[in-house]
Structure 1
Amino acid sequence: MTVAGFTVPRQFSFTTRPYAAIDDATDASLGLDDIDVRVRWMLDLIGAAQSELMARLWQPATFDVLAAGRDGQGRKLPMQGHVAAARLGWNPFYPTDVYVPSRVTRVVTSQTIGTLRTLAYRDHAIGSLSARFDPVTGRLTPPTTAGEYVPSGFARGVARQLAARSRSAASAGGPTPRLRITDVQGPPQTCVMARLSAADRQLAHITVTDAVLTLTVKLPTHEAPTGRAQWQRVRLTAAIPPHLHTRAITDWHLPTLVLDHRGLLLACAATEHVPTADLSAGATAVGVDWSPSTLGAAAIVTERPDGLVSDYRGWTYDDRGLGIKLARLQAEGQHLHRKAARLTRLAATAPPEVRAELEEKIAVLDAHRTAIGVKRGKINRELAFHFARHTVDYAAAAGAAVIGVEDLTTLETRGHGRVNNNRAAQSARRKAVDALAHTAAGVGVTVVSVPARGTSALCPGCNDKLSRPGGYHRAWCARCNVGGNRDHVAGVNLAKRALLGRRKAIRQRGQNPQIRIAEHAPVRQCRAKTSPTPSRPRHRRVRRSVPTATPPVGVNQIRIVPAPQASVWDTVKPAAASHVVTGSRDVPTSPASAASVADSMRFK
């Protein structure tokens, strides 16, 4: 339920591509290929400086300073990464005779400090586990304080590393040292990008008028600029996606520059106002259970004066075969990884001429594996938002104010075999939660995390253990005489816990509200149907306007029927292009119309 008249700000992200580029000094049109080259030069400078600074700071003293949050004079470190790096004296180095503006240095230090601060928690967790590790038994002692708690999966992985190091130290006759993150792994490889939000107007600024975004940014005119004159301003024009035209956006933020196989990509962020939700006012909740067979299933519980009721008729998400496709791509990627690893072992002892051939094959395998990873990422994103859209529609039709999802930090995939465990562990559940929270906030519904333990094994009515009369996917309670699909029963438990603990939810910045205590109240089955019937969008029919030709007499024609399209993309109508392209990828031209904003101007 939403509070009438009250809204709260919310940030979200979107991507777009420039379709025109103009030199800010001369107002001359520039080709998009030239812009890609100049952006590549700047990203190469940022990537090299960031890698050098990360390798120089990869030591335990760095994480000690970040964990303490104090500089050399005892002052608290500021939140801005570039300000903290300047106060600590952590500045990057550039090649000799190369001029880089100080605002670009801000981008480098901000990205580096952000990565190190993220890994500071991991360093603290590894040190805590190392202090609680017993080399004699090879086990971890139970934590004594809340700060020593880490996820069990992470603890098991570190315990294996500690056991291996203790064995090697025992064979060498020395004591087992305390482990730090710098002992476990090397400096992380960072993504080559430029977060312009760390800079000010001297490097970049943005304006939005009439659904058109204009970014003015300084780019180098040479691969190794030697002076300030070789950094010139460029105005990049990009179209705002049509689905954002009617949203109450109050602020547009500087984007992040990324280069992919299609050219320059602007990863933008914006702030909008959405209806605020009151968790304590809702009487209906939807529970979403992550299923091993599909992405998720949902069920509804309603609070009435006589208690909690549910019809135990859940809804299962239909991924339209994309889950099978993701499993196939995952198996193919793992096969390529094993093959590349085997060729790497062979190349280590092969003659020079054979080693060169093997390295070429390894490069091809790595390229194929990277392409598979990119394809899996795209499918996972589309699958997550498609699932979120259908789940939010299901909750809105039921009048729910809360959507309870399983807490992913306490959810482990085990007991289903090696293949199924690995497949479920790599599913896009985190992306689905983020997409669900983003989509639900637009209609005033709040997504909360609830404890996952026992949701599929306990009865929502009496809280006793359920039986499996029909196999793994069925659940039944003979005492309450309720049951059905295992995932639907789990959804009822999740919705019950969301309703009972919604007034005790813990809110942390940057996270969904969390319910950490699983309370119980009997949920009785009602005869009336309380959950809505989810809509089933039909696929678009494939129409062909080409007239059929009359076959010659005596000739048997082979009739080829096109396969019907069956994917989540068929339910989305393509947006009509409303802008024209005024730039080219090769040669600057005069303004001319084009069919698409971004795709038509980039040669394949």
Structure 2
Amino acid sequence: MTGPGSTAPRQFAFTTRAHVAVDDITGEPIGLDDVDTRVGWLLDLIAAAGAELTARLWQPVTFDVLAAGRDHQDRRLPAQGHVAAARLGWNPHYPDGVYVPSRVTRVVTAQVMATLRILAYRDTAITSLSQRFDPATGALAPPTEPGDWVPLGFARGVRRQLIARARREGGALAGRLRITDMQGPPQVAAMARLSAADRQLAHIAVSDAVMTLTVKLPTCPVPAGRAQWRRVRLTAAIPGHLDGRAVSGWHLPTLVLDQRGLLLRCAATELVPAADLMAGTVAVGVDWSPSTLGAAAITTENPDGLSSDFRGWTYDDRGLGTKLARLQSEGQMLHRKAARLTQLATNAEPEVRTRLEAKIAVLNDHRTAVGVKRSKINRELGFHFARQVTDYAASAGARVIAVEDLTTLESRGHGRVNNNRAAQSARRKAVIALAHTAAEVGITVVSVPARGSSAQCPGCDAPLARPGGYHTAWCSHCRVSGNRDHIAGVNLAKRALLGKGKVTRRRGQLPAVRVAEHAPVRKSRDKTSPTPSRPRHRRVRHSLPTVTARAGVTKKQHVPALEASVWDTVQPAPPHGDTGSRDTRPSPTHATQVADSMRST
């Protein structure tokens, strides 16, 4: 039921680190370095067992069972991975003499089943694409049935695999192929999803912004019995930006190890205002732009039809897009250099090969560091963009935000470099952050088709002219002109309003409008979109030095600086809830500083 004041549950994720660790039975403190070591032993057992189980199940019959969704007795497979694996008899094997609790086996099978179920879709797509592949021309025939359609980016990747396999086999493919013919079993990540277990392995308690996790860890690399598994009680701080949020449930975290030690990837369920798509009469359309991350515009549904003032808002990424492009070029340069040194080391002398391998290791470390920087900037950029768009939609009274469907959006026609930069942008993270941020105020993010959004007129659906270049648009029939991205935002918002009664929902995906309907959008002289906040201008002048001039020294004449232009602005501080801003931190200092001082020596 939805209505005024109604709420709906939604899950969100956060990370934290333990700052205190004690033995659950004796209460003796345990050094955090010792905890990291014991968690590493647990992750090694899980990764080894998962790799063994994945390699054993890497055969076509496994994916046939998963695609059918039925067990040996023709019963529907449960959604829980460990329950489905137990029903099918898919259990990992451990080395002789190693004792592993059954709850750890649940964690292993749950992670392996999640991976195999994802790859079952890829197996079905490869089977369909291999039948339509022509080894002589390297082209794919168009699909004949609706079930054979796959995203274009996915099809291109499979086509490259098919071309490489045909080249290895001399230009011929042996009939229908499966995923097991195209690639080997995937690597199993070293992590422990405790959500698949019960209280016998781990349980969690939260009180007064402190989370206490009790988990059973091995005391040696190769535990031989039950006595070599002991419970450890970890205490971690809840991030400050969760204070005041209506959290209704805390879930068991996922344990991973990074450069700083144990990291807890936690999840929780909170209550947010329920969104009602049918009641929304104002929608915001977000267009992904090649010049910036995105632009937005508003369309309003009135009794006499749709209207818009065609005045949009363009996101200012504060130079983060330029920094991402620079880091991307740097990473590509490091990759090319490492590949070249690898070729030289193949036939080099042993001493030279040793030196080259050392250089390659350094280059790979630098590439990893660049990737970490890009990941952090992408997250910051995505959440800052999400906060700005959410505030823009809330100010306009919108209940729907329409974004372009990323599966149908391709970067092409702008040159190899610009296409690559657009493809590497933070769009996916921005969509996830936007859906998370908009749900806090009861706004729904809907995915709509992207084709023709910036090429067709919102009023008459005719092709738009480009009198002023790529970023301008003009319709001679409707007398509508403006920025190309803003007009695309009007089209996207229109499609969300027209298709709000035909929204399809799939688990783990955004609500989607599959068909782009058309209705004329008239230009309204009334101001319907909110005025973006303008930064406060400040004149920049050089202050005079306060140092007293020495006697006998001619003073320099200080000429005051010229009056600053309107472009020299001071950006205001983001709002309090902006978790992606670099000016405000989403939470106070974590307890990890205390944890670093408590690590055992």
Structure 1 position 323 matched with structure 2 position 321: yes
Secondary structure in structure 1 of the residue aligned to 2:5 = strand
1:452 aligns to what?
450
2:106 aligns to what?
106
The CA deviation at 1:47 is: 1.6
Read off the aligned partner of 2:344 and give its amino acid letter. Answer: L
Relative to structure 1, the CA distance from residue 552 to residue 93 in structure 2 (aligned partners, 3 Å threshold; closer, same or farther) is farther
Moved more, 472-481 or 400-409: 472-481
1:596 aligns to what?
none
1:385-434 Cα distance to aligned partner (Å, 9 max, x none): 11001100000000001100001111111111111111111112111111
1:33 aligns to what?
33
Structure 1 position 144 matched with structure 2 position 144: yes
2:125 aligns to what?
125
Read off the aligned partner of 1:42 and give its amino acid letter. Answer: L
The CA deviation at 1:116 is: 0.8
Read off the aligned partner of 1:196 and give its amino acid letter. Answer: L
Aligned 8 A contact 1:406 1:494 in 2: yes
Moved more, 444-453 or 471-480: 471-480
Aligned 8 A contact 2:82 2:196 in 1: yes
Separation in structure 1 between the aligned mates of residue 435 and residue 586 of structure 2, nearest angstrom: 24
The CA deviation at 1:135 is: 3.9
1:348 aligns to what?
346
Read off the aligned partner of 1:99 and give its amino acid letter. Answer: Y
Structure 1 position 42 matched with structure 2 position 42: yes
Q: Structure 1 length as normaliser, TM-score?
A: 0.90
- Equivalent residue for 1:402, pick from 388, 400, 414: 400
Separation in structure 1 between the aligned mates of residue 81 and residue 533 of structure 2, nearest angstrom: 47
1:178 aligns to what?
176
Note the 1:4-19 alignment, pairs <5 A. 4-19=4-19
The CA deviation at 1:534 is: 2.0
1:248 aligns to what?
246
2:335 aligns to what?
337
Aligned 8 A contact 1:165 1:176 in 2: no
Note the 1:395-434 alignment, pairs <5 A. 395-434=393-432
- Equivalent residue for 1:191, pick from 189, 192, 205: 189
Relative to structure 1, the CA distance from residue 550 to residue 213 in structure 2 (aligned partners, 3 Å threshold; closer, same or farther) is farther
Moved more, 240-249 or 404-413: 240-249
Note the 1:540-551 alignment, pairs <5 A. none
2:466 aligns to what?
468
Read off the aligned partner of 1:84 and give its amino acid letter. Answer: A
Relative to structure 1, the CA distance from residue 397 to residue 583 in structure 2 (aligned partners, 3 Å threshold; closer, same or farther) is closer
1:46-71 Cα distance to aligned partner (Å, 9 max, x none): 12222222222222222122112223
The CA deviation at 1:580 is: 10
Q: Percent same amino acid among aligned pairs?
A: 71
Separation in structure 1 between the aligned mates of residue 416 and residue 229 of structure 2, nearest angstrom: 54
The CA deviation at 1:183 is: 2.3
Read off the aligned partner of 1:337 and give its amino acid letter. Answer: H
Aligned 8 A contact 2:14 2:265 in 1: yes
Relative to structure 1, the CA distance from residue 392 to residue 251 in structure 2 (aligned partners, 3 Å threshold; closer, same or farther) is same
Moved more, 209-218 or 125-134: 125-134
Structure 1 position 571 matched with structure 2 position 569: no
The number of aligned residues is: 576
Separation in structure 1 between the aligned mates of residue 187 and residue 209 of structure 2, nearest angstrom: 36
Aligned 8 A contact 2:284 2:398 in 1: yes
Separation in structure 1 between the aligned mates of residue 592 and residue 389 of structure 2, nearest angstrom: 36
1:267-300 Cα distance to aligned partner (Å, 9 max, x none): 1001111111111111110000001111100000
Aligned 8 A contact 2:239 2:588 in 1: no
The CA deviation at 1:438 is: 0.8
Separation in structure 1 between the aligned mates of residue 255 and residue 43 of structure 2, nearest angstrom: 8
Separation in structure 1 between the aligned mates of residue 19 and residue 549 of structure 2, nearest angstrom: 47
1:159-181 Cα distance to aligned partner (Å, 9 max, x none): 3433444455455xx66332222
Secondary structure in structure 1 of the residue aligned to 2:446 = strand
Aligned 8 A contact 2:535 2:571 in 1: no
Separation in structure 1 between the aligned mates of residue 94 and residue 174 of structure 2, nearest angstrom: 39
Secondary structure in structure 1 of the residue aligned to 2:266 = strand
Aligned 8 A contact 1:21 1:583 in 2: no
Separation in structure 1 between the aligned mates of residue 217 and residue 348 of structure 2, nearest angstrom: 45
Separation in structure 2 between the aligned mates of residue 157 and residue 247 of structure 1, nearest angstrom: 42
Separation in structure 1 between the aligned mates of residue 431 and residue 536 of structure 2, nearest angstrom: 26
2:502 aligns to what?
504
Aligned 8 A contact 1:166 1:176 in 2: no
The CA deviation at 1:139 is: 3.1
1:53 aligns to what?
53
Relative to structure 1, the CA distance from residue 539 to residue 348 in structure 2 (aligned partners, 3 Å threshold; closer, same or farther) is farther
For structure 2, the residue ranges without an aligned partner over 5 or more in a row are 540-544, 559-569, 574-579
Aligned 8 A contact 1:31 1:584 in 2: no
The CA deviation at 1:573 is: 4.9
Read off the aligned partner of 2:117 and give its amino acid letter. Answer: R
1:437 aligns to what?
435
The CA deviation at 1:456 is: 0.7
2:255 aligns to what?
257
The CA deviation at 1:583 is: 5.6
Secondary structure in structure 2 of the residue aligned to 1:233 = strand
2:491 aligns to what?
493
1:90 aligns to what?
90
Separation in structure 1 between the aligned mates of residue 192 and residue 590 of structure 2, nearest angstrom: 29
Read off the aligned partner of 2:388 and give its amino acid letter. Answer: H
Structure 1 position 24 matched with structure 2 position 24: yes
Moved more, 290-299 or 32-41: 32-41
Read off the aligned partner of 1:496 and give its amino acid letter. Answer: K
1:528-576 Cα distance to aligned partner (Å, 9 max, x none): 22110123567999xxxxx97768666999x9xxxx9999744325644
- Equivalent residue for 1:236, pick from 227, 234, 237: 234
1:181-221 Cα distance to aligned partner (Å, 9 max, x none): 22222222232111000111011000011111110001112
1:297-323 Cα distance to aligned partner (Å, 9 max, x none): 000011112221111110001110000
1:89-130 Cα distance to aligned partner (Å, 9 max, x none): 222233332222111111111111101111110110010111
Relative to structure 1, the CA distance from residue 168 to residue 242 in structure 2 (aligned partners, 3 Å threshold; closer, same or farther) is closer
1:313 aligns to what?
311
User: How large is the Cα RMSD of the aligned pairs?
Assistant: 2.7
For structure 1, the residue ranges without an aligned partner over 5 or more in a row are 542-546, 589-602
Separation in structure 1 between the aligned mates of residue 151 and residue 516 of structure 2, nearest angstrom: 18
Aligned 8 A contact 2:131 2:175 in 1: no
Separation in structure 1 between the aligned mates of residue 591 and residue 412 of structure 2, nearest angstrom: 51
The CA deviation at 1:337 is: 0.9
Structure 1 position 154 matched with structure 2 position 154: yes
Read off the aligned partner of 1:259 and give its amino acid letter. Answer: L
